[in-house]
Amino acid sequence: MNPIQLLTEKAVQAVKALYGAEVPESMLQFQATRKDFEGDVTLVVFPLLRTSRKGPEQTAQEMGEWLSANVPEVASFNVVKGFLNIKLSAAYWAGVLKAIASDPGFGQLPSTGKTVMVEFSSPNTNKPLHLGHVRNNLLGWSVSKLLEACGHKVVKVNLVNDRGIHICKSMLAWLKCGNGATPESTGKKGDHLIGDYYVKFNDLLKAEVKELVAGGMDEEEAEKNAPILREAQEMLVKWEQGDPEVVALWKKMNGWVYEGFDKTYESLGIKFDRIYYESQTYKNGKSLVAEGLEKGVFYRRDDGSVWCDLTGDGLDEKLLLRKDGTSVYMTQDLGTAQQRYDEYKFDELIYVVGNEQNYHFQVLKLILKKLGFGWSDAIYHLSYGMVELPEGKMKSREGTVVDADDLIEKMYATAKETSLELGKLEGMPEAEQEELFRMLGLGALKYFIIKVDPRKTMLFDPKESIDFNGNTGPFIQYTHARIKSILRKAAEQGIEASATGAPVLEKEQSIIQLLSSYPDKVREAGEAHSPAIIANYAYELAKEFNQYYHDVTILREEDAAVRSQRLLLIGEIASVLVKAMDILGIRLPERM
């Protein structure tokens, strides 16, 4: 049993025995004892003072004496002002280790019966995935795995933004400058090829704006009236009208992009349960707009555009259909949300989208509510901070982004270089080495990004992420490989790991306590939608093992019972590391 759960139950009995009162468990505030005090678990007694009608120190002393006398698992206690620090017995911690080892599902919380949908990735088909998308994908995947560990049924979905003005810009630039180029003729991944034409469009637009400004037009007017931009807008209208030539070109170019995306997702280890396409869901949104007009939720302006007035709610007026009848992001998001609820009846819909879209999701929830959808309260925007580089922000239209495919290859190359420098791979077959380099490179990338609280802007430094020391993926991967090496040697010597009931050292007790807290960390991380909590827990556990391995003999321990139990302990450390890192989408090597 979890130590806090055990002591909470016993403390309820103590209050009744000492003060003749029934108190709810929620009144008993237990927490892990701070490292600068002696003890494992601390009871904050201040909430009990009304019941005890005594001072904090006397209440803590009386509670400590009762628990010490009546609970065999309590070895000792001490009082610091209104805090009762409780030390649990070595036998108790040995029992906890045995319970953890005998539970193959340790860390997996019971089923909640809830369905949670997580939308992430949501790329535009006018450019390849970049570093910003990498954070989105890794965060979306790990949040999904985390919520599965919390007992929810999780549906991982992707909404591909495959229509709109930005797509038409790439299509138009390809028509003007592509000369029929294809992924096959250029040797480029399809998403990279199309991304080049999105940048090319911006170059052509800048040239036209410069010419118009030179002719006497001010820059803002020039940007609105540039001929190439008008052409792109006309192309979008034609697409929504189903023009055969425009639709055929759109299908061909998007097909190239999808093939490119699939390769990147495969490299990252990302899969989806359902993929939605904006080109299919925007019509649902248009239907909702028509309904909203009938109900008086929306209104049409003189130019034909449709709006929702949210000023009474402290927000702004929101465009839903342009004057030419084409839809905007909000239109398709309304339609997509309704379709998803109809299909899955989710209990929660999580959008993993950057913090620059905070206002968008505030508006989305409000409009859905105004349309009468009670499930709009189930929408949660997991708003994450941007990824920046030492040299600053990235800009897609200017081509100054860190491409996801290039980044994955760079991480692989850095992992290979670092591993070969350490020179510990003698005798490992080449194919196994290659797999290890991929595992380390991706582990470094994923961990470095996920260990940061999602809400914070982060600075990405590839060199720092690959370090085999400190709070990095490779450090945890190396720790796991080290434990596996010890367990292999033990097996070769015929030594079994088992719960022998041998006395456990103070250091071992603290590690077992850390292991026992893993399910609570899963619960805490799930409630916060923050896999960073799991990442940093894994680092703490790996760090504790390395200090333990430095201080304590394992295979050379002469007492067979102690030796077997120590092997069990490190085996459970390895097992929990695998579970924690699996939530982050990171594999751990058996040797390195």
Q: In this structure, are residues 474 and 467 in contact, taking their beta carbons and an 8 Å threshold?
A: yes
What CA–CA distance (Å, rounded) separates 470 from 546? 12
If pLDDT is split at 50, 70 and 90, which confidence band does 393 have? low
Q: Could you report the per-residue pLDDT of 220-245, keeping only the tens digit for each?
A: 899 888 999 999 999 999 998 999 99
Instruction: Give the per-residue pLDDT at 388.
Output: 77
What CA–CA distance (Å, rounded) separates 362 from 384? 15
- 573 to 437, 539, 540: CA distances (angstroms): 23, 11, 11
- 166 to 162, 256, 401: CA distances (angstroms): 9, 16, 17
User: From the centroid of its chain, how far is CA 532?
Assistant: 7
If pLDDT is split at 50, 70 and 90, which confidence band does 172 have? very high
- Angle at the Cα of 340 (from 335 to 341), degrees rounded to 5? 100
Task: Give me the mean pLDDT over the 70-83 stretch.
Answer: 96
- 255 to 250, 267, 362, 396: CA distances (angstroms): 8, 19, 33, 21
Task: Give me the mean pLDDT over the 84-108 stretch.
Answer: 96
Q: In what order do the strands lie in the sheet with 299-300?
A: 299-300, 306-309, 317-321
Contacts of 214 (CB under 8 A, 6+ apart): none
pTM of the entire predicted model: 0.90
Helices (H), 182-243: 183-186, 190-214, 219-225, 227-240
Instruction: Give the per-residue pLDDT at 1.
Output: 64
- Angle at the Cα of 187 (from 189 to 397), degrees rounded to 5? 50
CATH number of 404-583: 1.10.730.10
Task: Give me the mean pLDDT over the 90-98 stretch.
Answer: 95
If pLDDT is split at 50, 70 and 90, which confidence band does 396 have? very low
Instruction: Give the per-residue pLDDT at 326.
Output: 85
Instruction: Give the per-residue pLDDT at 308.
Output: 97
What CA–CA distance (Å, rounded) separates 42 from 28? 10
Task: Give me the mean pLDDT over the 30-57 stretch.
Answer: 94
Instruction: Give the per-residue pLDDT at 391.
Output: 63
Instruction: Give the per-residue pLDDT at 46.
Output: 96
- The 8-class DSSP code of residue 111 comes to P
User: Which candidate, 394, 567, 585, 549, places its Cα nearest to that of 488?
Assistant: 567
Task: Give me the mean pLDDT over the 360-386 stretch.
Answer: 96
Which is more confident, 420 or 75? 75
Q: Could you report the per-residue pLDDT of 340-359, keeping only the tens digit for each?
A: 999 999 999 999 999 999 99
Class of domain 120-388: alpha beta
Instruction: Give the per-residue pLDDT at 211.
Output: 93
Q: Could you state, in order of their start, the residue ranges of all structural domains in the chain?
A: 3-88, 120-388, 404-583
Model confidence at 219: pLDDT above 70 = yes
Task: Give me the mean pLDDT over the 267-287 stretch.
Answer: 94
What CA–CA distance (Å, rounded) separates 381 from 386? 15
Instruction: Give the per-residue pLDDT at 392.
Output: 53
What percent of the chain is modeled with pLDDT above 70? 98
Model confidence at 162: pLDDT above 50 = yes
Q: Could you report the per-residue pLDDT of 430-439, keeping only the tens digit for each?
A: 999 999 999 9
Instruction: Give the per-residue pLDDT at 400.
Output: 55
Model confidence at 34: pLDDT above 80 = yes
Contacts of 91 (CB under 8 A, 6+ apart): 73, 501
**The CATH number fitting domain 3-88, selected from 1.50.40.10, 1.10.10.10, 3.30.1360.70, 1.10.443.10:** 3.30.1360.70
Q: Could you report the per-residue pLDDT of 321-342, keeping only the tens digit for each?
A: 999 888 888 999 999 999 999 9
**DSSP count for the chain of H helices, then E strands:** 22, 14
